Amino acid sequence: MGDVTDLPRLVVASANPHKVAEIGLVLDGLVVLEPRPIGLPDVVEDGETLEANARLKALAICKATGEAAVADDTGLEVDALGGAPGVYSARYAASNGSGAEGDAVANTTRLLYELASIPAGRRTARFRTVALVCRPNGSELVASGTVEGYIAAAPAGDGGFGYDPVFVPVEGDGRTFAEMGEEKHAISHRGRAFRDLARRLIGT
């Protein structure tokens, strides 16, 4: 592409350093990302869908900065649990009092407990990400990405974050996302969503 000044510029709504780093790796050379301004209050993610939560976050940052903002929301959908934790993935443990909101270890522990009696062949799941850009003029772009997989019997690997230590993508070689490191970006839900978003941005 051309000079960096020609690239779309977006303020990242997320304050999660792991997520921001992942987004930066996926969009490197395609979009210029600006950090979320320090001191902005957290956005209450009380939407009923991943898209609604992404919109809440992007719109709040867009209004606060006057710049185009990008946000995403991700859910882990486990078939044996009726699609749970889904939109409640980040607060799965908090919803039953077994951990604090955003506590990845507690969330994973509850997930494995819920699946303890489920055999390997029925532990199918998918990660789904919705990425959304809000612009000051009120327009928006929405993109999504999904990766199919299954939940491992126990955590493995120390890379990634969230449920990565227990999610094994079917397109991989049997390793969890946490064991794959940066390799996961080529097939991950977030990678797919943000590459799709970048294509849409470049085309507008």
* DSSP-derived secondary structure letter, 124: E
Contact 11, 61 (CB under 8 A): yes
d(CA 148, CA 76): 10
Contact 61, 71 (CB under 8 A): yes
d(CA 146, CA 167): 13
| Kind of pairing between the strands at 32-34 and 85-86 | unpaired
Options 6, 28, 73, 196, the catalytic residue = 73
103 catalytically annotated: no
* Active-site residue list: 73
